Structure 1
Amino acid sequence: MKRTQLLYTTFLVFGFFMIGCEDFVEIDTPNFQITASAVYKDDETATAAVQGIYNQLYHNNTAFSNGWENSVSVLAGLSGGLVSPRSITHMKYGPFAQHDIITLDNPAASANLNLWSSAYNIIYLANSVVEGLEQSGGVTEKTRNSLLGQALFIRAFSYFYLVNLYGDVPLLLSTDYNVNTIAPRTLADEVWEQIEADLDEAILWLKGATGYTDGERTQVNVYAAMALQARVCLYRKNWSKSEELSSLVIAQSGTYEILEDLNQVFLANSREALWQISPVKGSSIYPTNTNEASVFIIYSLFGRAFGNIELKEDFISEFEAADKRLNDWVGKYSEGLYYPYKYKVRSIYRDVPEYSMVLRLAEQFLIRAEARAHQNKLATAIEDIDQIRQRADLPSISKVYPGIDQEGLLDTIMSERKKELFAEWGHRWFDLKRTGKSPAIFRSNPLWQDTDVFYPIPEEERMKNPNLSQNKGY
């Protein structure tokens, strides 16, 4: 492949990706139309197209996945109640923390729109890859299978967040403008079924993809697909399949391990990472750190604390004094002012030391522990939890809670999930919702309504598509 031809393909891909995210569901056929003959001519150009989607996941316009102010980690993190805006009157963050999102013409509504539309933009791109690979005859079977598996994973990954945040959502499985612009919402159960089907198929296509290219854990392999499917099965209460899949991932000790040093977990290509998103490499002008570091770290400037988000003190008080997560993953600006400190490099102008963590091994132990506990396999569930507690320098469950029963163990697992996964991808918010505990946790908030478990469908999208109904309570 001549360099000029690859650059031409990259230009086409880039132009296509720059389509406005917020107009995704109702856009016209784009001017930068990528055809199968142009982009899926051979292995190299097809691979470049899929790599473009990975790059797009961190793009400024891709709010839901880029770790920045309108991302799942931030907005759903606020809804989960472990982090809060430093000022409850913050016009964007306050409504998510207070479960009082207005649907139009305010910063919170704009953030909600960005969350929704950016996920659908990624789905559109994944659909375009699936269609392009199906139409192309120039891509070898091995490359086609791998790229198809990756595209299906990315589509399932995006729908996972949409269905958890909004419930019923349009299920768009093609790039057909005429269908997509008037698509109604699909029942959540059907969306979940499609997520499972996509991941099962992705696992099938990726069965030969067990490693990482050049050691970079930024492309999906078969174990990343299994890991997400293990989570999906947990949410769907398919305990046995969840246990089976997480066990397959955990067994890959030659590739993955629980790192003893917590300060190494979120480094680029750490051995705990199943899949990471790399920040776009910067220049002498733009820093190249993770967005999570930029948005979460509270820093001092002119003697003042800067940063809009803090960890709640009542959450800090839940950590045992010896817990290494308190010392290594919680930053302290001053007494009573704490912040997530999993990512430590707030601004840098050289090679990126940290990547945004999406899937990691510790979650798989927590998934398997919960799946086993629900099957009353208490002894092996405790072994899994103790893997996480041991890393945190905490005593085993059997020592702290001898004779613990199933209900007590499930509560303990939820507590460990809270302390292990805080400020990551909305885990706490989703855990409360899927276990039905949201009403009990948030009813002390006078603004809470039980319908607040789902965000509103963005009103701007409903204006464009009259077939989009609104969630109850909005």
Structure 2
Amino acid sequence: MKKIIFIICPFIGLYWLMSSCEDFLEVEAPNHIITSEVVFNNDETAIGALNGIYNQLYTSAFSSGWQDSVTALAGLSSDILEVIRSTNITLKEYDQNEINPNNTRNFNIWSSGYNIIYMTNSLLEGLANSNNVTDETRNRLEGEAKFIRAFTYFNLVNLYDDIPLLTSKDYRSNALAARNSSEEVYELIIRDLENSINLLGESYLDGERTRINNYTSMALLARVYLYRENWGYAESLSEKVIAQSGIYELLENLDEVFLANSKEAIWQISPAGRGTITSHTNEGSIFIINPIFASLSHFKLSTGFVNSFQEEDKRFQDWIRFHSGLSVYYPYKYKIRNSTESITEYSMVLRLAEQYLIRAEARVMQDNLIGAIDDIDKIRSRAGLELLAETNPGISKEALRETIMEERKRELFTEWGHRWMDLKRTGRAAELLGANNSLWQDTDILYPIPEEERMKNPNLTQNAGY
């Protein structure tokens, strides 16, 4: 059993390094934790605590962009990524939709997510109990922490469905928490994001899009309402983000989209959180084929996905590369595989293109086909494709929604498991994934609750099929 370690420094932030928040069941409360009164005795230390959470997002498995991230594993679960080496069993299980509850990568997603949730809960409690933080700082930190908590819960609930809903740092009760319904989890997500919108302003701190503003919270809430099929709210929120043309824009040069502080970025995570001299993103590291030891690379793009592109599609030309040695296509959204130079790319989490796709889908579901075509044509025009308004203005509602789904697949591939979650929420996972997978079962749309967590917490039930 790994020990839980808390390290707090008033100048560099707050870092919780632990194996899992559930580990509290088997250890006593650490006697060396600096109390919230000390951590939040002024604005500087409180801000340092939040900076620690942002840094931890880059090293936490689910949000890191590394092999155990939502981006990589949900990409394998869908029809986007495939493993290069079939001997890598823990990755192959995601590729085949046959995940063992003892899969260590699955445990890493779960435990790292709850680690971040514990950190945000601790920060929120510390702010609530401190009288030494100014109102301006308190509001901003609370808004950012609630966004991060909502963002983490959103990923977990979409991977596992019913999950424990933890809103305090009481490790004794957290360690034995049962699963709450997904409806209850979504209620907290929406409440946290609404609070975040009200607490935050429009500006990015120091111009860095690694810190969130109120439009970041609006963008995520738009996605939440899309998933909840609340089309009107999804359209309204995405429209507010899109309207901020002075802050955000669709970049014509696709090679600039994933650069640090790109004008298309709504929220990014910086590799600086790694805390080493290396400056590349994890996505660049795992997706770009190793130039020396190509056979050691793990991920390739599926043939079906590559074939879904038209030859003239700029996304195919700029965001995909072919490795002749392995005879595979691989993602090339990030251009740097390994570097110790100045950071030039940040990991993308939320960007403007998704907001156009959200609004397009919300509009088509409200029978505003003209508005939906206008939105999807923004994405198609940037990709160098013919416009629907010119080639198929009378497209049916059903065909237009399918077109939007296809554009989501080609635009958002290898970004936070969009394709996997799209297939699930639209009820098409069995149809599209089961057709080429004899092992497919309808219960495969959910990941298993990690067996290691269930052994420590007898109140955690398992998802069906595992």
Which residue identity is paired with 1:224? T
Which residue identity is paired with 1:124? Y
Any gaps of 5 or more consecutive residues in structure 2?
Answer: 1-7
Q: CA deviation at 1:185?
A: 0.4
Pick from 169, 173, 179 the counterpart of residue 185 of structure 1: 179
CA distance 1:74–1:8, shift in 2 (3 Å): closer
CA distance 1:25–1:396, shift in 2 (3 Å): farther
The alignment status of 1:314 with 2:304, answered yes or no, reads: yes
Pick from 112, 125, 140 the counterpart of residue 131 of structure 1: 125
| Equivalent-residue separation in structure 1 for 2:219 and 2:24 (angstroms) | 29
| Equivalent-residue separation in structure 1 for 2:61 and 2:364 (angstroms) | 35
Does the aligned pair in 1 maintain the 2:57–2:273 contact within 8 Å? no
Percent identical pairs in the alignment equals 52
1:66-465 pair list within 5 angstroms: 66-104=64-102, 109-206=103-200, 209-280=201-272, 286-301=277-292, 304-334=294-324, 336-444=327-435, 445-465=437-457
User: Number of residues paired by the alignment?
Assistant: 457
CA distance 1:25–1:282, shift in 2 (3 Å): closer
- Stretches (4+) displaced over 4 A: 22-25
Q: CA deviation at 1:342?
A: 0.3
Q: CA deviation at 1:102?
A: 1.2
Which residue identity is paired with 2:401? L
Q: Secondary structure at the match of 2:272?
A: coil
Shifted more, 289-298 versus 84-93: the winner is 84-93
The alignment status of 1:469 with 2:461, answered yes or no, reads: yes
Q: Secondary structure at the match of 1:64?
A: helix
The alignment status of 1:20 with 2:14, answered yes or no, reads: no
Q: Secondary structure at the match of 1:338?
A: strand
Q: CA deviation at 1:12?
A: 7.4
Q: Secondary structure at the match of 1:174?
A: coil
Q: CA deviation at 1:215?
A: 1.5
CA RMSD of aligned residues (A): 1.7
In structure 1, what is the equivalent of residue 4 of structure 2?
Answer: none
Which residue identity is paired with 1:328? D
| Equivalent-residue separation in structure 1 for 2:218 and 2:401 (angstroms) | 23
In structure 1, what is the equivalent of residue 45 of structure 2?
Answer: 45
Q: CA deviation at 1:399?
A: 2.4
| Equivalent-residue separation in structure 2 for 1:350 and 1:227 (angstroms) | 32
| Equivalent-residue separation in structure 2 for 1:198 and 1:259 (angstroms) | 31
| Equivalent-residue separation in structure 2 for 1:281 and 1:155 (angstroms) | 18
Structure-2-length-normalised TM-score: 0.95
In structure 1, what is the equivalent of residue 3 of structure 2?
Answer: none
Q: CA deviation at 1:8?
A: 4.1
| Equivalent-residue separation in structure 1 for 2:73 and 2:34 (angstroms) | 33
Does the aligned pair in 2 maintain the 1:25–1:117 contact within 8 Å? no
Q: Secondary structure at the match of 2:89?
A: coil
Does the aligned pair in 2 maintain the 1:126–1:155 contact within 8 Å? yes
| Equivalent-residue separation in structure 1 for 2:348 and 2:314 (angstroms) | 19
| Equivalent-residue separation in structure 1 for 2:381 and 2:361 (angstroms) | 17
In structure 2, what is the equivalent of residue 4 of structure 1?
Answer: none
Structure-1-length-normalised TM-score: 0.93
Any gaps of 5 or more consecutive residues in structure 1?
Answer: 1-6
